[in-house]
Structure 1
Amino acid sequence: MDRCPWCSDDPIYQSYHDLEWGVPEWDGRALWEKLILDGFQAGLSWITILKKRDNFRAAFDGFDPANIAGWGEDHVHRLLQDKGIIRHRGKIEATITNAQAYLDLGGADAFRDMMWGYVGGVPLVGGYDHQADVPTSSPLSTQISKDLKKAGFKFCGPTIVYAWMEACGLFNNHLTSCHRYAAFTIAAAPEDQH
């Protein structure tokens, strides 16, 4: 079975690639969670985040923005002691700030509509034949990054946003030779999500 080469032979990576990566995500809270995890991934490999994802979900109260938005220094201190996650003060504090920004935007539906609005509600298709041809950012990821920062988000630079767009299915960047490419090329928004 042909897969995108970045998922290597690791069963965790392969499962993520086959079942999650590039699948259009329509839940606004899940979109936010994935953006947070992509921010934690900055400077690290994605497999590190995947292996710790359940720990992150437990440590961050199921990534409930309404709860996280009210956290203070005591929560930051607790998380800095949690060996099950990436213990980076800036990224932890950014998660709290990003929860506040997410709520200020209007929550799940507003965040979903804003993000999917950038692509007109239909996944963009890269159509790349080789991994070396896939960029790490784009003018669109740069624009989304600027807009998120203007809204108060942190750890959401153009490269993070581009990886997030790929992961959440806003951008189908499965290689043309990948067995998942065709499935997501024809993917479109459910009618009730427009």
Structure 2
Amino acid sequence: MEVIMKEKSTKTACLFKKSLGITLALLLLIGSLAGCGSKGAAPSKGDSPASSKEVTLNEVAHSIFYAPMYVAIEEGYFEEEGIHLTLVTGFGADKTMTAVLTDEADIGFMGSESTIYTYAGGTQDYVVNFAQLTQRAGNFLVSRQPIENFSWDMLIGADVLGGRAGGRRPAM
């Protein structure tokens, strides 16, 4: 499959660096919040699993924009800080919001639209957005076959899958 993007590579690199910076900032925020209210020092590698903080994070979808977090999980950075992170993919903002509201997840990675809908619906125990992880959606236009000399005009009249079940419908 070939990934086709409209922006120039320098703009893409700039967006990636910005997304990486935001992701790392969020990871630092999660790490600092996990230590709030602790009665003792964070456990070291040799401490028992019972002394670690259990955190369930429900992400709306697996995305390349969350790559720094995936690396931190695989490299054991959360465990080193005494955080046993369970990563769950919700496959839709509606499902991620439900997981947070029903205490199946401590943190939800999703767009703000679900928070707005939930609050507007009159929910008494609503969630609060506390960080912006990405500035743009992690959507890419892909093709089953390589296309040389791609032009956006080629999409006129074409069927384009523009989202996923449970997600916000982007304007294309």
Say whether the fold is shared (TM-score over 0.5).
no
- Name the TM-score, length of structure 1 as normaliser: 0.25
Larger radius of gyration: 2
Q: Identify which of structures 1 and 2 has the higher relative contact order when contacts are C-alpha pairs closer than 8 Å and 6+ apart.
A: 1
Point out the structure with the larger strand share.
2
- Name the TM-score, length of structure 2 as normaliser: 0.27
